[in-house]
């Protein structure tokens, strides 16, 4: 008999990051997982089902955390899911995954979870590594001390799977509530009184009258709720009570953090020696990781190796993705032409070929870069090198208000902001992640290159100094400019919108491990699929709207017009043309006229569209690229109504600055919307980049005029 849905038992997998939760989860479920989102935040939610001998249970892989104090979105989710705060369902069993090679550190979370009083099974994972390191863990003693079953496992090889399943099976049947763990503050202190008052303010649906749960949540609240926490959905009254009690305790000279955290660590320090001993048969030798680190983190050798790895990452995004993007675009082009030749001319045909197929093509064209970046990230992350990269770059990035973990996303931003923004997920803190997302679009992405090339080649002199052309100077200058502004923006954001206490990087370097190719491929594919289904829809819809704006209202071509002329007149009469004219007054201070305005509207789909839109406006047709000499000649010949040239080097400089700073990328906004699960951050991004680009271009143009350029 299939169990009905409501009666299905629910298991959550909790543990420190890198303890092997996902590996244990995959082992138990056989990789048949579902990926969704947690409500309101965009931490991926992995769930699946576990088949035991006589029933099937739901199992969920929680984000990794070192404790339950809710500093990051991950910790908040883990806490809410464990405690069954609405909207999460109360778990029937917690499977705690412990990294046996880091026993002491992992036990902190274990103690905190046990306080909640949920039935619990521990998987003492990485047991193979423990043995290799010449250590011995007394499973009996550990299990007795904690009061819950402990099963040694090596998730990578599958060792201990059957024992783990049977421990889960019997725990689900018997639901033994674990004994109250040691290391609690005494109840008849002033701290105990404070905790009682806080406990009274904990919402009923968080504990359902369970006094032990209520007391545990009071301790959690006192530790976690402070002015810099990132908790959402917290009752205001609870926040007020905790603040009041915290202040009162501090005035009385008591440090609540010390009183709550201290005893847990003291207990661990005192007891860990009872469980853990060196195996007398093997002499502990320097581990492989330590040997590797002596090379990879070597003061002299480390840096070149780091540069080689980063160059390979960069190269793959730039050079290897390009041919794939080309073939995707070619494929969609073929498809559009196929439809074109099999349908009679109509609005529907244009909509299908130029709106729909082109729009889907634009979305799919992001896939090569996303997949390549996530394959790379997967290898870096699972081999353990990523933690070293973060560590190596942390000091430099921190001086700009970013974390070392922001380095790889920023570097990827030189190729494309879309995968770079998705890559910010490896950051632990929401604030760091937001900050990086807000500045990555300022990095010089490859879509800016055709625009830069066109403007520089058309409007600037071709002489060279010391063997370098003006063009190459300008190009390098644009890269440096974008990077400098991105770092500056990060520093400013850290002091204003996204200020908060600096949190030191957890300097725990995981041991090196051989990456698992199948798992990395699988996870990269999940990322790509999530992009297609969520950001992809927003990109598609907005591309179609933009296409309609550029092509409507339609007019009938006159007999004596060439197709290119007809196209130009059509664009001028379109909504985009009308908007271009309407916003012309705001563009005049930058040196732009309505024709450039239409180009800027077109560039919203993607910056490189600027080139083809200018092609249409200037009557050269839309199948031009930045190398077209016809387009260059037309641009140089274009005039303002008073007969002066429209495009001067000064206008060119103003345009370059505008393209460097403006957020002309609907896809970026769509992906920020998905990653932050709110409209607030994409709106902020668009607003600040628009203001920044307008002001900077106006300063360049007006300053140039004052200096006597024209
Ligand atoms: P999570 O962050 O807790 O989900 O940890 P993962 O499941 O991603 O595991 C982190 C790394 O540890 C991966 O490279 C795994 O292959 C590896 N790993 C997991 N379990 C074991 C184990 O029992 N033994 C060994 N040697 N490696 C493991
Ligand atoms: Mg995991």
Regarding predicted confidence, which is higher, 585 or 544? Answer: 585
The answer to whether the CB of 23 falls within 8 A of the CB of 123 is no
Top mean-pLDDT range of 23-37, 308-322, 655-669 = 655-669
Please indicate, yes or no, if residue 324 is contained in any of the structural domains: yes
Give the model's pLDDT for residue 321. Answer: 84
95 — pLDDT class (breaks 50, 70, 90): very high
CA of 684 to the centre of ligand 2 (A): 31
Between vectors from CA 56 to CA 52 and to CA 57, what angle results, nearest 5°?
100
Same domain, 100 and 246: no
Same domain, 258 and 291: no
Sign of CA dihedral 548, 549, 551, 553: positive
Give the model's pLDDT for residue 111. Answer: 92
Rounded mean pLDDT of 232-251?
87
Query: Which residues are registered as beta bridge partners of 332?
Result: none
Percent of the chain with pLDDT over 70: 92
> Which ligand 1 atom is at minimum distance from the Cα of 383?
14
What is the spatial distance between Cα 686 and Cα 695, in angstroms, rounded to a whole number? 14
Q: How do residues 624-636 score in pLDDT, each as one tens digit?
A: 777 788 889 889 9
Top mean-pLDDT range of 145-154, 410-419, 621-630 = 145-154
Rounded mean pLDDT of 250-270?
84
Give the model's pLDDT for residue 282. Answer: 54
Please indicate, yes or no, if residue 496 is contained in any of the structural domains: no
Task: Looking at the CA of 24, name the nearest ligand.
Answer: 1
Rounded mean pLDDT of 557-579?
78
What is the spatial distance between Cα 237 and Cα 223, in angstroms, rounded to a whole number? 16
CB of 102 sitting under 6 A from ligand 1: no
Same domain, 97 and 147: yes
Please indicate, yes or no, if residue 281 is contained in any of the structural domains: no
| 673-700 burial: b if 16+ Cβ within 10 Å, else e | bbbbbeeebbebbbebbeebbbebbbeb
The answer to whether the CB of 625 falls within 8 A of the CB of 611 is yes
Kindly give the interhelix angle for 563-573 and 609-617, rounded to the nearest 10 degrees.
110
**What radius of gyration, in Å, describes the C-alpha atoms of the chain?**
30
Rounded mean pLDDT of 360-389?
86
Torsion (CA) 362, 365, 371, 377 in degrees, nearest 10: -70
Sign of CA dihedral 485, 488, 494, 496: negative
Q: How do residues 455-505 score in pLDDT, each as one tens digit?
A: 998 998 877 777 778 888 898 899 999 999 999 999 999 888 887 655 555
Pocket test for ligand 1, best of 13, 17, 20 (most atoms within 8 A of CB): 20
Q: Which of 134, 149, 174 is the last residue of a domain?
A: 174
CA of 96 to the centre of ligand 2 (A): 13
Nearest to 353 by CA among 547, 167, 182: 547
Same domain, 258 and 318: no
Give the model's pLDDT for residue 1. Answer: 36
Query: How many domains is the chain built from?
Result: 4
> Parallel, antiparallel, or unpaired: how do β-strands 56-61 and 44-51 relate?
antiparallel
Q: How do residues 298-311 score in pLDDT, each as one tens digit?
A: 777 887 888 888 88
Query: Which residues are registered as beta bridge partners of 50?
Result: 57
Same domain, 200 and 311: no
Q: Which long-range contacts (CB under 8 A, 24 or more apart) does 47-53 make?
A: 50/11, 50/165, 50/168, 52/165, 52/168, 52/169, 52/172, 53/165, 53/169
410 — pLDDT class (breaks 50, 70, 90): very high
Same domain, 204 and 309: no
Same domain, 384 and 303: yes
Same domain, 67 and 106: yes
> Parallel, antiparallel, or unpaired: how do β-strands 56-61 and 10-15 relate?
parallel
What mean pLDDT is reported for the chain?
84
CB of 155 sitting under 6 A from ligand 1: yes
Q: Out of 42-46, 57-61, 691-695, 700-704, pick the least confident.
A: 42-46
Q: Out of 35-44, 170-179, 242-251, 333-342, pick the least confident.
A: 35-44
For the chain, the maximum distance between any two Cα atoms, rounded to a whole number of angstroms, is 97
Give the model's pLDDT for residue 535. Answer: 77
Same domain, 230 and 364: no
Give the model's pLDDT for residue 36. Answer: 55
4 — pLDDT class (breaks 50, 70, 90): very low
Q: Which of 235, 266, 297 is the last residue of a domain?
A: 266
Q: Which of 266, 298, 318 is the last residue of a domain?
A: 266
CA of 63 to the centre of ligand 2 (A): 7
Please indicate, yes or no, if residue 478 is contained in any of the structural domains: no
393: pLDDT strictly greater than 70: yes
Same domain, 139 and 205: no
CA of 101 to the centre of ligand 2 (A): 17
3-class secondary structure, 44: strand
Task: Looking at the CA of 18, name the nearest ligand.
Answer: 1
Between vectors from CA 529 to CA 534 and to CA 685, what angle results, nearest 5°?
40
Between vectors from CA 444 to CA 442 and to CA 449, what angle results, nearest 5°?
140
187 — pLDDT class (breaks 50, 70, 90): low
What is the spatial distance between Cα 623 and Cα 620, in angstroms, rounded to a whole number? 8
Q: How do residues 427-443 score in pLDDT, each as one tens digit?
A: 767 788 899 999 999 99
Please indicate, yes or no, if residue 685 is contained in any of the structural domains: yes
Give the model's pLDDT for residue 71. Answer: 65
Rounded mean pLDDT of 101-128?
92
What is the spatial distance between Cα 623 and Cα 634, in angstroms, rounded to a whole number? 15
CB of 20 sitting under 6 A from ligand 1: yes
3 — pLDDT class (breaks 50, 70, 90): very low
Please indicate, yes or no, if residue 620 is contained in any of the structural domains: yes
Please indicate, yes or no, if residue 667 is contained in any of the structural domains: yes
Same domain, 136 and 243: no
Please indicate, yes or no, if residue 473 is contained in any of the structural domains: no
Top mean-pLDDT range of 200-214, 266-280, 528-542 = 200-214
Give the model's pLDDT for residue 396. Answer: 83
Query: Which residues are registered as beta bridge partners of 11?
Result: 59, 93
Half-sphere exposure of 276 (CA within 13 A, CB side): 19
The CA–CA distances, whole Å, from 696 to 6, 402, 541, 596, 684 equal 59, 24, 31, 17, 18
3-class secondary structure, 57: strand
CA of 157 to the centre of ligand 1 (A): 10
What is the spatial distance between Cα 590 and Cα 592, in angstroms, rounded to a whole number? 6
177: pLDDT strictly greater than 80: yes
Same domain, 167 and 207: no
Give the model's pLDDT for residue 550. Answer: 82
Give the model's pLDDT for residue 281. Answer: 60
Region of residue 383 (left: phi > 0; alpha: psi -120 to 50; beta: else): alpha
54: pLDDT strictly greater than 50: yes
Between vectors from CA 386 to CA 381 and to CA 390, what angle results, nearest 5°?
145
CATH code of the domain containing 55: 3.40.50.300
5 — pLDDT class (breaks 50, 70, 90): very low
Rounded mean pLDDT of 183-191?
73
What is the spatial distance between Cα 20 and Cα 29, in angstroms, rounded to a whole number? 14
Pocket test for ligand 1, best of 156, 506, 520 (most atoms within 8 A of CB): 156
672 — pLDDT class (breaks 50, 70, 90): very high
| Residue 692 CB contacts under 8 Å (≥ 6 apart), including other chains | 485, 489, 661
CB of 44 sitting under 6 A from ligand 1: no
CA of 139 to the centre of ligand 1 (A): 20
Domain that holds residue 70: 10-174
């Amino acid at each position: 008999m299939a169990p009905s849905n409501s009666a299905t038992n629910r298991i959550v997998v909790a543990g420190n990051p890198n303890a092997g939760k996902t590996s244990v989860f995959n082992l138990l479920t056989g990789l048949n997982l579902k990926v969704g989102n947690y409500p309101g935040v965009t931490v991926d939610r992995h769930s699946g089902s576990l088949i035991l001998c006589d029933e099937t249970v739901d199992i969920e892989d929680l984000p990794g955390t070192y404790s339950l104090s809710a500093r990051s979105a991950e910790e908040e989710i883990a806490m809410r899911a464990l405690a069954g705060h609405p909207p999460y369902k109360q778990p029937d069993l917690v499977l705690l995954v412990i990294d046996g090679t880091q026993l002491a550190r992992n036990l902190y979370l274990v103690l905190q979870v046990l306080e909640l009083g949920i039935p619990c099974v521990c998987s003492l994972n990485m047991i193979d590594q423990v043995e290799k390191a010449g250590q011995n863990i007394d499973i009996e003693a550990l299990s007795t001390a904690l009061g819950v079953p402990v099963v040694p496992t090596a998730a990578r090889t599958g060792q201990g799977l059957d024992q783990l399943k049977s421990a889960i099976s019997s725990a689900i049947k018997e639901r033994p509530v674990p004994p109250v763990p040691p290391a609690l503050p005494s109840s008849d202190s002033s701290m105990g009184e404070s905790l009682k008052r806080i406990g009274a303010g904990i919402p009923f649906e968080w504990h359902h009258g369970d006094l032990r749960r209520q007391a545990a949540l009071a301790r959690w609240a006192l530790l976690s709720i402070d002015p810099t926490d990132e908790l959402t959905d917290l009752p205001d009254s609870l926040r007020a009570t905790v603040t009041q009690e915290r202040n009162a305790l501090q005035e009385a000279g008591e440090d609540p953090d010390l009183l709550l955290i201290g005893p847990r660590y003291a207990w661990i320090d005192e007891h860990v020696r009872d469980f853990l001993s060196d195996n007398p048969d093997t002499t502990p030798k320097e581990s492989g990781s330590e040997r590797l680190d002596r090379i990879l983190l070597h003061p002299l050798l480390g840096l070149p190796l780091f540069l080689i790895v980063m160059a390979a990452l960069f190269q793959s995004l730039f050079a290897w993705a390009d041919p794939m993007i080309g073939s995707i675009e070619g494929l969609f082009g073929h498809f559009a032409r196929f439809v074109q030749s099999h349908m009679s001319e109509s609005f529907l045909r244009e909509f299908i070929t130029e709106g729909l197929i082109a729009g889907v093509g634009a979305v799919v064209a992001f896939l090569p870069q996303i997949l390549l970046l996530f394959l790379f990230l997967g290898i870096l992350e699972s081999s353990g090198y990523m933690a070293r990269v973060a560590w190596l770059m942390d000091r430099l990035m921190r001086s700009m208000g970013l974390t070392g973990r922001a380095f790889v996303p920023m570097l990827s931003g030189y190729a494309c902001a879309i995968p770079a923004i998705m890559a910010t997920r490896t950051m632990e803190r929401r604030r760091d992640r937001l900050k990086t997302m807000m500045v990555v679009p300022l990095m010089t992405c490859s879509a800016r290159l055709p625009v830069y090339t066109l403007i520089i080649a058309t409007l600037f002199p071709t002489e060279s100094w010391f063997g370098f052309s003006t063009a190459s100077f300008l190009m390098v200058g644009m890269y440096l400019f974008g990077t400098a502004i991105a770092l500056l923006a990060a520093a400013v954001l850290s002091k204003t919108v996204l200020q908060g206490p600096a949190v030191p990087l957890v300097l725990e370097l995981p041991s090196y491990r051989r990456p698992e190719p199948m798992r990395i491929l699988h996870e990269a594919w999940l990322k790509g699929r999530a992009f297609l289904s969520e950001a992809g829809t927003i990109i598609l819809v907005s591309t179609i709207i933009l296409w309609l704006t550029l092509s409507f209202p339609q007019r009938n071509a006159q007999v004596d017009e060439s197709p290119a002329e007809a196209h130009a007149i059509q664009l001028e009469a379109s909504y985009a043309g009308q908007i271009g004219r309407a916003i012309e007054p705001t563009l005049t201070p930058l040196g732009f006229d309505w024709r450039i305005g239409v180009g800027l509207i077109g560039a919203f789909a993607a910056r490189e569209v600027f080139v083809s839109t200018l092609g249409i406006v200037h009557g050269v047709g839309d199948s031009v690229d930045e190398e077209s000499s016809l387009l260059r000649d037309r641009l140089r010949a274009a005039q303002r109504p008073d007969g002066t040239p429209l495009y001067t080097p000064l206008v060119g400089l103003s345009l370059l600055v505008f393209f460097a700073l403006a957020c002309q990328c609907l896809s970026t906004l769509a992906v920020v919307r998905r990653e932050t699960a709110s409209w607030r951050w994409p709106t902020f991004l668009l607003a600040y980049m628009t203001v920044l680009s307008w002001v900077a271009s106006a300063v360049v143009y007006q300053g140039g005029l004052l200096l006597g350029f024209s």
